[in-house]
Amino acid sequence: MQRALPVIVFALVLISARIIGALNSESLGNLQPFGSLFFCGMALFGLRGVILASATWLLSYPITSMIQGYPVGLEVLVPIIGFSAMLGLANFFKSSSPLKTFTGSLLGAVIFYLITNALSWALDPLYATKSLTTLGQALWTGLPGYAPTWLFFRNAMIAQVVFSGVFLVATQRISSYSEKKAANAYS
């Protein structure tokens, strides 16, 4: 149980972050650690690095959808496709320097934003006419009555900078600490 406790606490923190974001979507929409965890987890640890983030995202998706008044159905595929693209991109940053991984993480956030908003535009019947004008609307302002999509993009980029930075620095510190401890054990 003691080994599982940090994992359980981390999962609860991630789920809480999603719920808080859903309750305050006007100001905190997309200010989430998941994009960073997916990208950095895959770039640094491979598929095992994204298991916890994937599980908590999937568990919290129905809860946040209900809070925001969205149905739970096939539209779950839109962010899954976006996250999958981020994971694919992260494969190119395996064994890269922390700075390159950080830069790739930012690129991943841009790709996620473009893919999810373009898919929403293509699939949402509220975008009645499919044209470059309404695609631009989907990418910048979104639908009337909702927070503008540029706000979600801004928050996603802030989250990607903060959480990727923290994740990469923490991983590097833990790695160097482990190396020092191993070196001292053999001295």
List, for residues 45-103, the tens digit of each pLDDT value: 999 989 988 988 888 888 888 887 777 778 889 999 999 999 999 999 998 999 999 99
> Is 37 in contact with 55 (CB distance < 8 Å)?
no
* For helices 34-45 and 5-23, angle between their N-to-C axes, nearest 10 degrees: 140
133: pLDDT confidence band, cut at 50, 70 and 90? very high
> Is 85 in contact with 118 (CB distance < 8 Å)?
no
Q: What is the pLDDT of residue 132?
A: 93
Domain that holds residue 129: 5-185
Number of domains making up the chain: 1
**97: three-class secondary structure by DSSP:** coil
Mean pLDDT confidence for 134-152: 88
pLDDT, greater one: 138 or 179: 138
Whether 25 shows a pLDDT value over 70: the answer reads no
26: pLDDT confidence band, cut at 50, 70 and 90? low
pLDDT, greater one: 31 or 126: 126
DSSP string for residues in 22-45:
HHTHHHHTT--SHHHHHHHHHHHH
- Rounded CA gap, 119 and 82, in Å? 9
> Is 135 in contact with 87 (CB distance < 8 Å)?
no
Whether 1 shows a pLDDT value over 70: the answer reads no
* For helices 132-140 and 98-123, angle between their N-to-C axes, nearest 10 degrees: 130
List, for residues 109-125, the tens digit of each pLDDT value: 999 999 999 999 999 88
Q: What is the pLDDT of residue 15?
A: 78
Within 8 A by CB and 6+ apart from 112, the residues are 35, 79, 82, 83, 85, 86, 156
- Rounded CA gap, 53 and 44, in Å? 14
> Is 111 in contact with 153 (CB distance < 8 Å)?
no
Cα–Cα distances (Å) from 115 to 49, 85, 119, 154, in that order, read 23, 8, 6, 16
- Rounded CA gap, 3 and 68, in Å? 35
